[in-house]
Structure 1
Amino acid sequence: MPSVLFVCVANSFRSQMAEGFAKALGNRRWDIWSAGSNPSGRIHPLAIQLMAEAGIDLTMHRSKGLGEVPARRWDCVVTMGCGDACPSVNATHRVDWAIPDPAGLPLEEARRIRDQLAVLVRELIGQADRRGLDKSAGTDKDTCPSSSR
């Protein structure tokens, strides 16, 4: 089963939304997690609201640190703004999405970021599926799209 880890600084907004979209799109074919380099300990209320608007419930999610996710070699690690704080994550492929932190932004800007994440996650899942990523089928092709945003 392919694995992906979404990482931002606080694991309260961007990486949580990306995890939510990926779980909704991945049909349980993926092992999907999110974590933060400096977790806040809570999910931002606006992230919960924005994802509810998209039909995804984050109320049972919790903010996690990198030490709280499975110790493994991830097929794909997607970082969002944690830069050098994330080098210890063991991954076959890495992608950095230059996504601003929506915390503190006006609602419409936060919605645009949510929608941008939805597109990026859809592309990630779609490209990986097109490459025959399903490891249960015995393939070992790239998990992450090679381009970064």
Structure 2
Amino acid sequence: MSEKVYNALFLCTGNSARSILAESILQREGKGRFNALSAGSNPAGRVHPYALDLLETMGHPVAGLRSKNWDEFAGQGAPALDFVFTVCDNAAGETCPVWPGQPMTAHWGIADPAAATGSEAEKRAAFTEAYRMMFNRISLFLALPLESIDRMSLQNRLREIGAEKIEA
């Protein structure tokens, strides 16, 4: 019997950095158990070049990553979603579409590295920090016994992961 493949959607406003990092991390770390997706309420239309550089440096494939509107995942023919995570505070406060599949939802807010100011090194450091935080949250998520945990316990644990202070 084959294992269920879960569909997880990561949302932020611009879909150029945080949600893209999360999509790529879960796609690789989920080892075929997850179909990771990302989108934005007001997509930037491009993936931030620092996000792409960092993902490549960390050994993630970047082919096919693109900034897209969340409407792609709310319409007819969209995949049934198992999980929807907002990764920015703006997207968490917006009225989201109705997602197919009655997904579990949680807010895993992370500061926007694309908004970082300062030198190039400081801006790239913001991307590295966002990656680290997202990687740690996704690692906690992947350790959950998804096949055996009840829905309410899972929902609570997803929210706890978003609230956890991720240490270096």
TM-score by length of structure 1 reads 0.83
> Max radius of gyration: which structure?
2
- Match 2:128 to one of 111, 115, 121: 111
Aligned positions of 1:129-144 closer than 5 A: 130-132=145-147, 142=154
Partner of 1:30: 34
Distance 1:59 1:29 in 2: 20
Q: CA deviation at 1:73?
A: 4.5
- Match 2:97 to one of 88, 92, 105: 88
Distance 1:88 1:131, change over 3 A: same
Q: CA deviation at 1:67?
A: 1.3
Counting matched residue pairs gives 142
Partner of 1:52: 56
C-alpha root-mean-square deviation of aligned residues, in Å?
A: 2.2
Distance 1:89 1:7 in 2: 14
Distance 2:34 2:147 in 1: 13
Conserved in 2, the CA contact under 8 Å of 1:48 and 1:57?
no
Instruction: Report 1 or 2 for greater relative contact order, CA contacts < 8 Å, sequence distance ≥ 6.
Output: 1
Q: CA deviation at 1:140?
A: 7.2
Question: What are the ranges of 5 or more consecutive residues in structure 1 without an aligned counterpart?
Answer: 134-138
Amino acid at match of 1:132: E
Q: CA deviation at 1:104?
A: 3.7
TM-score by length of structure 2 reads 0.74
Identity fraction in percent: 27
Partner of 2:158: 145
Amino acid at match of 1:145: L
